[in-house]
Amino acid sequence: MANEIQPASAGTGELCLPPRLRKPRLNTAEASEYLMLQHGVKCAPATMSKLRSIGGGARYNKCGATPLYPREALDEWALARLGGLKSSTSDAGD
């Protein structure tokens, strides 16, 4: 039960992130989990690796051979990928 995600206090309804995902920079597996928990965006670690190679993924730093994703960059990328809100299927929107 310790690994379950609990709602934040103060009735915000926001999910509390597990401690391993609260770091300023996340490795690929952690970044994939963060995107799903924080934004509902499913992006497998293998897809993130592919996007690093061909472009189109979240910005990242490298520490030796290890890519590290700043949480802010993951947030920006997820929001851009989600696009704008739409009110119907005929909305061209963003």
Segment 11-47, tens digit of pLDDT: 444 568 999 999 999 999 999 999 999 999 999 999 9
Grade residue 4 by pLDDT with cuts at 50, 70 and 90: low
In this structure, are residues 21 and 14 in contact, taking their beta carbons and an 8 Å threshold? no
What is the three-class DSSP state of 7?
Answer: strand
Grade residue 2 by pLDDT with cuts at 50, 70 and 90: low
The type of residue at 83 is G
What pTM was estimated for this model as a whole?
0.78
Task: Say yes or no to pLDDT of 5 above 60.
Answer: no
Please give the Cα distance from 73 to 78 (Å, whole number): 9
What is the three-class DSSP state of 61?
Answer: strand
Task: Say yes or no to pLDDT of 79 above 60.
Answer: yes
Grade residue 84 by pLDDT with cuts at 50, 70 and 90: confident
| pLDDT tens per residue across span 55-69 | 999 999 999 999 999
